Structure 1
Amino acid sequence: MDAAQPSEAEILAHLEAKLQHRFKDAKLAVQALTHSSAKDKDFPCNERLEFLGDAILGHIISEHLFHHFPGYEEGDLSTMKSIIVSAKTLSEKARELELDRVIILGRGLTEKRQLPRSILCNAFEAVVAALYLDGGMDSARTFILGNLKMKVDEILKDEHEKNYKSLLQDYAQRRVNAIPVYRVMKEVGPDHKKMFQVVVELSSTQYGPAWGANKKEAEQRA
């Protein structure tokens, strides 16, 4: 292996320090950071771990959003999730963990240590899988939420400011212990260009009406 490459002991020590996790199977830690370009590698590359880690990451983030943001609709949750698990977000987290310093690479990539975003993103997902296989779902969940909670909060703030339905629901539950009810009052226009009029009712009081090109838009405006 190239002299510039990190040793297996260095990889293990780095990951255990950054993750605050002592690996029972050290081979998982090394495999998680072995890129497919390392032809002379002593361990399998991290592609299979990346596949598993992607699924685990998606599951944990989806579960977290589902339980913590009950007022959000499927489309809103999907938008938040896509940002949280994006290559941009995961590669940034990989750099914060300094994974780029301990990835085993092929000779061509070793010469330029400014790694592509995709390699860092894949390494982060592979580390998630290694944690899951070595320590179980709780270990993976702690790592994921610990590293991505700030991103969740940041996105929530941005989305919350745009999502008037969520703001109203939060306010209503805190102040009057009630849930807003949205009612479609009118539908006008042809099917391909229909407009909807919606009102919102809260504690027997009606607000609106408001028009929108679809029900969701009208509900937000109401």
Structure 2
Amino acid sequence: MNFPSNLFNSHSKEDGDFFLGITKILGFKPKKTEIYRKAFLHRSANKKDKDGNPVNYERLEFLGDSMLGTIISRYIFNEVPLGDEGYLTKMRSKIVSREHLNELGKDLNLIRFVESRIPKTHFGENIHGNVFEALVGAIYLDRGYKYCEKFIQKRVIEPYVDIEQLEGKVISYKSLVIEWCQKQKKTFDFNVYEDTGNDVLKHFAVKLSIDGNVVSKARATSKKKAEERASKRAYFALQEKMKRPSR
């Protein structure tokens, strides 16, 4: 896709600052800076290419997600030669979980590069992981698989991936709670409702009941997050009774 020369409306100093900032994160000089610009272009910016098609980071995010999954899968496959398919899949899920990707994006402070019409304080947590994946996609398009693999090795695997620690990491507290309730033949209910607080973003609240008794409460910007947060609190409240499932 070709972009018009004024697509990003950047001044030379801004271009220079962006190039230096991205180069420091990548560990190498990008060949096509415009691809990396696109990796941080939020849909709210309403940018279009010369044919009038919307331009934002979402397609790069899709590509980066695929590349990240492939490279991490290869790493785990080589690192744990005796791991079966279920184990390898679980380990990959832990490394590329949305929570972990959000942490990666935050650690690199990628949000500083995002161009949007929405104040950055109004973004949800997932913006950090989204642009991280988009950045991976941009690397692949700009420099190919090997550079993409080196970047993930440097920024993801070396500083964050410890197989033994990951084996004990919980991906979903909600799944743990539900599995435990089913094994113990206990009833459970997630009562989710829209919160009427004064937050800028809409929030949802949840009450988690087990056998008719409320064991935890939580609120978040989505129903899924609220349920997971309540489940985590329930887990720690009941951890002496609950056992983590074996890998």
- TM-score band (shorter)? 0.5 to 0.7
| Cα shift readout 1:97-142 (whole Å, capped 9, x = no counterpart) | 1101111112xx22x4363222111100110011111111111111
Ranges in structure 1 where 5+ consecutive residues have no aligned partner: 162-216
Match of 2:106 among 78, 88, 95: 95
Corresponding residue for residue 192 of structure 1: none
- Structure 2: distance between partners of 1:92 and 1:63: 22
- Structure 2: distance between partners of 1:40 and 1:125: 20
Counterpart residue identity of residue 121, structure 2: R
Cα distance, 1:10 vs structure 2? 3.1
Contact 1:35 1:105 in 2 (8 A): yes
Counterpart residue identity of residue 155, structure 2: N
Match of 2:141 among 118, 133, 146: 133
Cα distance, 1:57 vs structure 2? 0.5
- Structure 1: distance between partners of 2:155 and 2:164: 16
Corresponding residue for residue 177 of structure 2: none
Return the TM-score normalized by structure 1. 0.63
| Cα shift readout 1:163-205 (whole Å, capped 9, x = no counterpart) | xxxxxxxxxxxxxxxxxxxxxxxxxxxxxxxxxxxxxxxxxxx
Cα distance, 1:48 vs structure 2? 1.0
Compared CA separation, residues 115 and 11, structure 1 to 2 (3 A): farther
Contact 1:60 1:141 in 2 (8 A): yes
Corresponding residue for residue 51 of structure 1: 62
- Structure 1: distance between partners of 2:21 and 2:122: 19
Compared CA separation, residues 41 and 8, structure 1 to 2 (3 A): farther
Ranges in structure 2 where 5+ consecutive residues have no aligned partner: 1-7, 170-245
Identical amino acids, percent of aligned pairs: 34
Match of 1:31 among 32, 35, 38: 38
SS for the counterpart of 2:45 is: coil
Q: Which has the larger radius of gyration?
A: 1
Cα distance, 1:11 vs structure 2? 2.7
Match of 1:17 among 24, 29, 32: 24
| Cα shift readout 1:62-116 (whole Å, capped 9, x = no counterpart) | 011011101111111111111111111111111111101111112xx22x43632
Q: Matched residue pairs, number?
A: 157
Return the TM-score normalized by structure 2. 0.57
CA RMSD of aligned residues (A): 2.7
- Structure 2: distance between partners of 1:17 and 1:29: 13
